[in-house]
Chains A and B, each alone.
Chain A
Amino acid sequence: MLAADFEVGRRDFTVGIGIQVEPGELVAILGPSGAGKTTFLEAVAGLVPLTAGEIRLDARRLSSAANPRADVPVGRRGVGLLRQNPGLFPHLTVLENICYPPRATAAVAIKTAARMGLETMLQTRPKGLSGGEAQRVALCRTLQTEVRLLCLDEPFSSLDRPLSLELLELVRQELQGRGTAALLVTHQLQEAQAFANRVAVLHRGSLLQVGDPRELVLRPRTALVASLVGYRGWLRRGEQLMAIHPDRVRPTGAGSGTGVISGRVVGMRPDGARIDVEVEADGEWLGRFHWLAGEPPSMGTGLHFRAADPPVFGGPEAVLD
């Protein structure tokens, strides 16, 4: 089990994280660029020293701010790290790369490589690999170490969406087969939800909320979390701020009634098969919503819709940035 409760000072802000990851659990850290996601993983992997607190994995203390000299060195912590750049050694073949870790054996390496569909390219050099293949090699190589926690620093984000989801699924199956825990860092909710049992939202170095992947979207604790998990509409009623998710609105017939929101279409743009509609209410910009069915409305049309169970925030929770 990973038990992390620490701080790492950065130039712009301090990354302060408290989280536990159970054995075999898959946790995603969701956050925008520059939220401190990479710093978090680097601290776990032992690449940056802590300025406060400690990190433990099972019975071992990996890092502590109190006694950094006793930190377990990088590569001997049972922590693997995959980055966006796969970091393959260009002068070694795929097989030599996979067998690089000191205790790796060719027999095991070849078996893992076969599971990842790499058996035909074992003798090629990394230069000849596609981005997805290179990442699979890097994953395979990391799995040849005794890794109990795998840190994934957006390893597939430079690949196209379907491929990156496919590779995440491959990683997930491989990890679940071994009972290895993982921390996936990503800025895409879809990836986080597809991969993890639990999602944590990170913003400016702080974990805002940790929860079930679906619960997090349905019950964001603050308006900031809501905006980070995809809410795009905001309706201010006095002190209170209602968050509206573009996928969770239903058009209703004209009229009033409790919960009915009325507005006017001020913009439209296609988004895949659906139309994104921009709505204004009472002269105030309300947000973007997905027009899911039927003919899209025309510009300026009055629109009435009902948001499904929208979260409402008051006081400090209603602050958006």
Chain B
Amino acid sequence: MTVPPAPAALRGSGVRASTGAALVGALIVWVALLGPLIALLAHLSPAAVLSSLRQPGAFQPLLTSVAASLVALAVILLLGTPLAYLLARGRLPFPRLWEVGVILPLLTPPLVIGLLLIFMVGPNTPIGAALSHLNLTASDTFFALVIAEIYESVPYYVLGAAAAFATVEPQMEEAAALLGDRRWRTWRRVTVPLAAPGLATALAVTWARAMGAFGAVLIIAYHPFGLPMQIWVTLQETGLKSALPFALVLLVVALPLPVGAYLWSAHARRRL
């Protein structure tokens, strides 16, 4: 985005000084945010990364994390999208109540979410009993990992998607309806494409959160190891040096999608 030049009256030395100060501040924030990443890269030699990844079973946590996050993402997309749309359009009764429900997992510490999940879906609960009839167990299983990841990441998607849908003027949908279009087709051809930049950002953030979910996972899905658990266990057992390669793998897998989605949505927004 280009910023129009300030009016002549504002272009004094005072303004220039405060712009300079703001720039310095921005630079500090930027360096502070990227610092850990740079430090991580500085501490890693390619040989060390390769050798730790060549150990037997080193890729298993990565595969587990990707698979669980994909399933979590699919569930969130399927269940969260209609909710986000209804929230954005104000079509739900008691909208504040729904919003609180969505925000609650965001406000609850992940560890506490894990504890609460044990009380909800653990083996000795009605839901747990019902699940066992389906041969499912919601503790220390892949299924449990998915549940924990969903709880830790779903608010990011619903809030982001609701914001994205809110940017689509209802008049667009009205125009489509007036042209004889059916609801579902309008949704597919107008609403979603117009909300796509925001939806992509929401989805990307959600992916990153699901990949990195740890607190709730630690409580209800210690096994099978996903990447965050692998990092934690390796750190406990053999120390920082052997944990770092896994951290790098997590970043490499978790980051490109969000960054790519962000860049695409910035581009798409300009086009509209």
Contacts and interface: CB of A to CB of B under 8 A. Distances in A.
A145 B179 contact: yes
Contact of A145 (B180, B189, B271, B272): B180
A102 B181 contact: yes
Nearest to A126: B272
A91 B194 contact: yes
Interface residues of A, number: 25
Contacts of A81: 178
A75 B178 contact: yes
B190 A45 contact: no
A76 interface: yes
B35 interface: no
Contacts of A234: none
B170 to A, nearest CB: 10
Contacts of A102: 179-182, 185
A89 B180 contact: no
B100 interface: no
B135 interface: no
Taking each of B171, B174, B185, B271, which has the highest tally of chain A beta carbons within 10 Å of its own beta carbon? B174
Interface residues of B, number: 18
A80 B185 contact: no
Contacts of B180: 75-76, 101-103, 145
Given A47-B174, A85-B171, A102-B185, A90 B272 contact: yes
Interface in A49-107: 73-76, 80-81, 83, 85, 87-91, 100-103
B176 interface: yes
Contact of A91 (B174, B176, B193): B193
Interface of B: 171-172, 174-182, 185, 189-190, 193-194, 271-272
Interface of A: 45, 47, 73-76, 80-81, 83, 85, 87-91, 100-103, 125, 127, 141-142, 144-145
11 contacts: A73-B177, A74-B178, A89-B172, A91-B194, A100-B176, A100-B179, A100-B181, A101-B179, A102-B180, A144-B179, A145-B180
A-B pairs with lowest CB-CB distance, top 9: A87-B175, A75-B180, A101-B179, A74-B177, A90-B272, A91-B193, A75-B177, A145-B180, A75-B178
